[in-house]
Amino acid sequence: EAGVAQSPRYKIIEKRQSVAFWCNPISGHATLYWYQQILGQGPKLLIQFQNNGVVDDSQLPKDRFSAERLKGVDSTLKIQPAKLEDSAVYLCASSLAGGPGNTIYFGEGSWLTVV
């Protein structure tokens, strides 16, 4: 079974530029998550989708971050304009449903460096 696919794996941009990350979840998984992981810290949830609807985006900095999940499958996370503190790994994850007994599967992450 194919895992959660993310691209690009690595990206270096200058501050104030924009960047987009793409995620393809495991087939059939209704719930999709985007996490931000700053070096030395645990991952922090940015946004959770159930199919193509947003369940939780309370920690998404909406002045510069946006995310969408068209047709309830693939998702993109965009940052515009980027700041130095956005340097982090952006992890996409998916699960069959949102219930607490469901396993969440993570991708390998997209590493962003803002210079």
Partner 1 sequence: DAKTTQPNSMESNEEEPVHLPCNHSTISGTDYIHWYRQLPSQGPEYVIHGLTSNVNNRMASLAIAEDRKSSTLILHRATLRDAAVYYCILRALQGAQKLVFGQGTRLTINP
Least spacing, CB of residue 29 vs partner 1, in Å: 13
Least spacing, CB of residue 24 vs partner 1, in Å: 14
Answer yes or no whether residue 33 interacts with partner 1 by CB under 8 A.
Answer: yes
Cα–Cα distance measured from residue 7 to residue 83, given in angstroms and rounded to the nearest whole number = 20
Least spacing, CB of residue 72 vs partner 1, in Å: 17
Choose between 45 and 81: whose C-beta lies nearer to partner 1: 45
Answer yes or no whether residue 53 interacts with partner 1 by CB under 8 A.
Answer: no
Residue type at 1 in one-letter notation: E
Answer yes or no whether residue 91 interacts with partner 1 by CB under 8 A.
Answer: yes
Cα–Cα distance measured from residue 52 to residue 57, given in angstroms and rounded to the nearest whole number = 13
Answer yes or no whether residue 108 interacts with partner 1 by CB under 8 A.
Answer: yes
Choose between 28 and 100: whose C-beta lies nearer to partner 1: 100
Answer yes or no whether residue 107 interacts with partner 1 by CB under 8 A.
Answer: yes
